[in-house]
Amino acid sequence: MRTIGAGATYAEEVASDRAIRERCLKPYLILRSQYKARLEVQPRSAPVLPIKGVLILLITGKTTDEEDNDFIRWVHYTRSLSSMYAWRAGVSVVDVRLERKLRYDYAKLNASG
């Protein structure tokens, strides 16, 4: 079970949370075929440009909202988080880093399947 940080209650906490999320969770939209190509090139030691944002793989015909809902369902299914929404409202840098890691895991899973 993961611990969820406390939600923002003061204006300073809300501003700090917003700044952390903007810095660490900047979305980077990429098609599945593009990401798969990146994964195939990496083991051959070919240079791959770093991705500066959090990967959100777009499957043809899906919107970003639908993709976000699928991500939330996946997190609930695979992780023991009591509440995704309380976790996202957390002010802790650890909460933001966890979401970033889960986004990468989810993108990698979607690219392979």
State the CB neighbour count (10 A cutoff) for residue 3.
11
Q: How many domains does the chain have?
A: 1
Task: Decide if 50 is inside a domain.
Answer: yes
Q: Name the pTM for this structure.
A: 0.51
Q: What is the pLDDT of residue 5?
A: 46
Residue 38 structure tokens: 């990146």
Residue numbers of the domain that contains 40? 11-112
- Give pLDDT, residue 2: 37
Chunked mean pLDDT (size 10), the chain, 113 residues: 48 71 69 76 70 64 77 78 62 71 80 69
pLDDT at 1: 35
Q: According to the model, what pLDDT value does residue 54 have? A: 66
